[in-house]
Amino acid sequence: MTEQEELVEELSGLLEDNAGDLKMQWVKEMTEMGLLEKLTPIEIEQQSSTIYDTCVLTLKTGMYEAAKKYAREMAKKGVLEAMTVDQIIMGMLKLRDVYGRFVFSKYQSDAEKLYEVLGVYEPVANRILSIVALAFVEERERVIKEQQQAMLALSTPVLQIRDLILVLPLIGTIDSARAAQIVEQLLNSIVDTQASVVIIDITGVPVIDTAVANHLIKTIQAAKMLGANTIITGISPANAQTLVTLGVDLSMLTTRGTLRSGVKLADEMLKIEVVEKR
Amino acid sequence: MEIPLLKIEDFLVVSLQTELSDREIVELREEILDKIKKTGARGLIVDITALKLIDSFMAKSLSSIADTATLLGAKTVVVGMQPAVALTLVELGLRIKWKIHTALNLERGINLLRKALRSETEAL
Tens-digit pLDDT string for chain B (124 aa): 678 888 888 899 999 888 888 888 888 888 998 888 888 888 999 999 998 888 888 888 888 888 888 888 888 999 999 998 888 888 876 545 566 888 998 989 999 888 888 887 777 6
Q: Is the pLDDT of residue A271 over 80?
A: yes
CA distance B47 to chain A (A): 12
Determine contact, residues B45/B106, Cβ cutoff 8 Å.
yes
SS3 B106: helix
pLDDT for A146-163, tens place per residue? Answer: 888 777 766 778 899 999
pLDDT for A7-25, tens place per residue? Answer: 888 888 888 888 888 888 8
Q: How far is CA A72 from CA A76, A80, A231, in A?
A: 6, 12, 50
- The pLDDT confidence band at residue A171, using thresholds 50, 70 and 90, is confident
Q: Could you tell me the domains of chain B?
A: 5-123 (3.30.750.24)
Whether the predicted model's global pTM rises above the 0.80 cut? no
DSSP alpha helix (H) spans, A62-110: 65-80, 85-107
A to B CB pairs, distance under 8 Å? 50
Residues from A contacting B (CB-CB < 8 Å) are 183-184, 187-188, 190-191, 194, 196, 218, 221-228
Closest CA to B14 of B71, B74, B88, B57: B74
Count of beta carbons in the 10 Å neighbourhood of residue A33: 13
List of chain B residues whose C-beta atoms are within 8 Å of the C-beta of residue A194? 104-105
- What is residue A151's predicted lDDT score, i.e. its pLDDT? 76
Cβ neighbours for A188, distance < 8 A, ≥ 6 positions apart: B83
- What is residue A83's predicted lDDT score, i.e. its pLDDT? 64
Q: Select the residue of B78, B82, B105 nearest A194 (Cβ to Cβ).
A: B105
Which ipTM value was assigned to this complex? Answer: 0.73
Q: What angle do CA A171, A176, A182 make, to 5 degrees?
A: 50
Q: How far apart are CA A229 and CA A159, in angstroms?
A: 16
Q: How many CA atoms lie within 13 A of B68 on its CB side?
A: 15
Compare all CA atoms of chain A with the CA of B94 and give the residue at the minimum distance.
A218
- What is residue B98's predicted lDDT score, i.e. its pLDDT? 63
Q: How far is CA A67 from CA A57, A128, A130, in A?
A: 9, 7, 11
pLDDT for A198-228, tens place per residue? Answer: 999 998 888 888 888 888 888 888 898 888 9
Strand pairing class (B75-79; B11-15): unpaired
Q: Could you tell me the domains of chain A?
A: 3-150 (1.10.490.10), 159-269 (3.30.750.24)
Chain A contact probe: residue of B91, B102, B110, B115 with most A CBs at under 10 A: B102
Chain B contact probe: residue of A163, A185, A226 with most B CBs at under 10 A: A226
Determine contact, residues B90/A221, Cβ cutoff 8 Å.
yes
Q: How far apart are CA A175 and CA A277, in angstroms?
A: 44
Chain A contact probe: residue of B104, B105, B113 with most A CBs at under 10 A: B104
Q: Select the residue of A187, A196, A221 nearest B83 (Cβ to Cβ).
A: A187
Q: Do B89 and A218 touch (CB under 8 A)?
A: no
